[in-house]
Chain A
Amino acid sequence: MKKQYLLVFVFAGLLAIFNSCQKSTEYKALIVTGQNNHKWEASSPILKQLLEQTGLFTADIVKTPPKGGDMNTFNPDFTKYNVVVIDYNGDSWSDKTKTAFVEYVNNGGGVVLYHAANNSFPEWKAFNLMAGLGGWGDRSEKDGPYVYYKKDSMIIDTTAGRGGSHARRHEFEVKMRNAEHPVTKGLPARWIHGNDELYSQLRGPGKNMEILATAYADTTGGGTGRDEPILMTISYGRGRIFHTALGHVDEDGGPAMECVGFIVTFQRGAEWAASGKVTQKIPNDFPNAGGASLRTDFKELTLEDDLAKIAMYDITKSTKYFTDLQSRIRAEGKTPEALQKFEKLMIKVLENKAATDDAKRLILRELSWMGSDLSVPVIKELAKNDQLKDVAEFTLERLQPAK
């Protein structure tokens, strides 16, 4: 009897392993777009790419008719999807479509509201409950209070006034307000976001809403002097909504969308909205208080990519790829063996005749503490180069101290 149970357990276990090995994506996403005061033609394909590169989603894009078109023709079947991403700010949907969307969320469907989506549908009550907060579209005290932070306290401010504003685009610091939520767990407590519009003076019902992160709208840049909510979660019926105020799009994407902070919170927010959990790892290039971090082609760089970029390094351009390498070494080089894995790749840069002297200087300095005898021959060779002699000798002295 006992043996039979054991067999069942083993079989169940094998089945679980088999399932987890299957490469098929787990969730289906629908990106709704077609009208926006932003360049939706640029942003929607990027959002699709970002969702699909997680390996968790397949994403469809559905377009509404253009502005002034017959909205009765817009009837997507939301029920086929785990998450609906709203990249839309335009004409109101038909009542039938609105009802279908509310039913989808009520039944546990996930929603991601992206940037200007919170400008849309000022008249649609259910949508504003899902958004928590919104701006523009003649929003005012009739739509709900301003919600923001002053130091460590959340302020619910019923003062009369317009909803929605932003100062000129700039880089700004994002501050975590809930580091335990699945979307934000493990992210730095503060990080610099790429040049973006800092949505401010948002107001709305703010019911069943949790603010995950805020950003201080500095008065010197024309901001409100408040810590404005920029990442939020809202529950509506059985549905989960992730609301990001970040990500203003330029023709080619631009720094707000290229920001790894935007990318990763969007990807994590979408997974959470779809499933209630987040399984994605936090990448090495996530920004921190030390500066913004952009992916100009929306791809995460591998260690090999970093080293290829470092080899062509020009100090006046960027040290980003080198600081990426350093953070990988700190995170993964915990043993001499692990360090040698890096060292072997770094030696290739030193041996690369096309690599710049600037690149070699950086690599030599880093090797001075984490290198081994493996590096010594190539460093001795580089010590013959007048441009590199001093730093090569520095490194040799550390690697082979005179007794």
Chain B
Amino acid sequence: MFDKSTRRDFLKRSATVATGALILPQIIPSTALGMGGKLPPSDRIVMGAIGVGSQGQSNMRDFLALKDQVQFVAVCDVDTNHQAKAKGYADEANKNKDCRVYGDYREFLEKEKLDAVCIALPDHWHGIIYTEAANKKLDVYGEKPICRTIKDGQTIVSAVKKNNIIWQTGSWQRSKPNFHRAVELVRNGRIGKIKNIEVGLPNGSKGIGTPPIVEVPAELNWEMWLGPALKVPYRGVSHWNWRWILDYSGGQLTDWAGHHIDIANWGADLERTGPVEISGEGVYPRDGIYNVPVEYDFLCKYANGLEMRVANSSRLVHGGGATWYGEKGWINVDRGRLSASDPKILQEVIGANEVQIYKSDNHWQNFIDCVRSRKETIAPIEVAYRAISVALLGEIAMTTGQKIQWDPEKQEIIGNPIASRLLSRPYRQPWNLPTI
């Protein structure tokens, strides 16, 4: 039988005895955790996973690649095929058949005693489940974008802060050397003062028309999949392709905001603020159930005069990724790419007295290290919230066709009660955004 006394209990006990979280790293330094790299079972982070479709399984494999630092003991999904696949990964690593499976996250959170949970769900479920997990004092590795609406995001941020949990967003580009290097160069003024930014995200899907209503597959709990979203008949669109329907996602724009807008914010030191004015336009499918923008192009103005243009990549000179334009040149970074107006910029050395950018070589390891050290991760919650709010405000500007004034401090739309309605979305009963 698995010992349900978890690392978290141990940490809590230690904290009580040692009277303060500050000295915890001295009790269990993350660098001295093993004997020859082998960890005793009591030092493993005990994890569960909610949402184990393609991205959830991918995250599990990345955690399991950390070998015996992590142990998965329970998985939860509304699709029994996903459950079986994920349980298979866990059991194989644990060399037993004990990984527990759940179809309802409420039962999962109620019964399991865990250190941390890895969550990868369609965006419309994020508000409820991220907040519930934080309220259970679980450390969370949560997929981006962290919310479907601004209100969901604000609730999640408050829950994470109030419960003092460790949060890592799945914005793994932050743990890749080319993105780190780009940010380091920009933040240290190697292209001079930044004048404007362009963020290129993929073009959206043209759509599939309206497929017929079909029987819900036996493995899928459709009612639970929909959860707080409006009830609609099943047309064969659930896993993965939820990305193209506004009820569940904002499309490529909101999917990729958690990557490239996040990186752009990191470089421009906008990680904990937001724009003051947003305007732009979207191009929407003419027909069918897919209704997220195929193209989008909006401009965000910041209080310090900076401007950020977010558009589908075919509209931008540098295509995809984040491009910072400074007084002395530009830097563009995308997956597998780092380029600059002058290649010499990329050779620049950053001195010891200059701005040092948080460094992580492995996004999942960084989370586990922080669960142990109780330090902030490389992709903390507020930073993720600020990245997705740029896209969500852009979405509001495009939906209304109006110029939106935003107060990044109070996090409110100024003087536009109609557009403000789009900051939140009513939940279908019996679901409600949890209180904190």
Tell me the complex Cα distance, A390–B288, Å.
22
Q: Which chain A residue lies CB-closest to B246? A: A365
Contact B285 A323 (CB under 8 A): yes
> Is A331 interfacial (CB 8 A cutoff)?
yes
> Is A287 interfacial (CB 8 A cutoff)?
yes
- Residues of A within 8 Å of B212, CB to CB, are 316
Q: Which chain B residue lies CB-closest to A332? A: B401
Contact A323 B398 (CB under 8 A): no
> Is A188 interfacial (CB 8 A cutoff)?
yes
Q: Which chain B residue lies CB-closest to A314? A: B210
- Residues of A within 8 Å of B294, CB to CB, are 288-290
Interface centre among A190, A289, A331, A391 (most CB of B within 10 A): A289
Tell me the complex Cα distance, A309–B49, Å.
47
Give the bracket for the number of chain B residues in contact with chain A.
Answer: 20 to 34
Contact A369 B426 (CB under 8 A): no
Give the bracket for the number of chain A residues in contact with chain B.
Answer: 35 or more
Contact A330 B398 (CB under 8 A): yes
Q: Which chain B residue lies CB-closest to A394? A: B426
> Is B283 interfacial (CB 8 A cutoff)?
yes
Contact A319 B418 (CB under 8 A): no
Contact A293 B286 (CB under 8 A): yes
> Is A3 interfacial (CB 8 A cutoff)?
no
- Residues of B within 8 Å of A293, CB to CB, are 286
CB B100 to nearest CB in A, in angstroms, measures 33
Tell me the complex Cα distance, A287–B422, Å.
27
Q: In the complex where A330-B400, A331-B401 touch, is A287 in contact with B231 (Cβ < 8 A)?
A: no
Contact A192 B206 (CB under 8 A): yes
Q: Which chain A residue lies CB-closest to B425? A: A398
> Is B207 interfacial (CB 8 A cutoff)?
yes
Q: Which chain A residue lies CB-closest to B312? A: A289
Tell me the complex Cα distance, A401–B433, Å.
14
- Residues of A within 8 Å of B272, CB to CB, are none
- Residues of A within 8 Å of B231, CB to CB, are 390
Contact A398 B399 (CB under 8 A): no
> Is B97 interfacial (CB 8 A cutoff)?
no
> Is B375 interfacial (CB 8 A cutoff)?
no
Which B residues between 262 and 290 are near A, CB-CB below 8 angstroms?
A: 281, 283-289
> Is B85 interfacial (CB 8 A cutoff)?
no
- Residues of A within 8 Å of B295, CB to CB, are 288-290
- Residues of B within 8 Å of A336, CB to CB, are 418
> Is B315 interfacial (CB 8 A cutoff)?
yes
Contact A323 B286 (CB under 8 A): yes
Q: In the complex where A394-B426, A397-B426 touch, is A315 in contact with B210 (Cβ < 8 A)?
A: yes
Contact B315 A368 (CB under 8 A): no
Scan B379-408; emit 1 where CB is below 8 A from any A CB, else 0. Answer: 000000000000000000011111000000
Q: What are some 24 contacts across the A-B interface (CB < 8 A)?
A: A188-B283, A189-B314, A192-B206, A288-B294, A289-B203, A289-B295, A290-B283, A291-B206, A291-B287, A315-B210, A319-B287, A319-B289, A320-B287, A323-B286, A332-B401, A334-B402, A339-B418, A365-B230, A368-B421, A370-B418, A394-B230, A397-B426, A398-B421, A398-B425
Given contacts A289-B294, A339-B418, A368-B421, 19 further A-B contacts (CB under 8 A): A190-B314, A288-B295, A290-B206, A290-B207, A290-B285, A290-B293, A291-B285, A317-B210, A318-B287, A319-B210, A319-B287, A319-B288, A334-B401, A369-B400, A369-B419, A390-B428, A394-B426, A394-B428, A398-B425
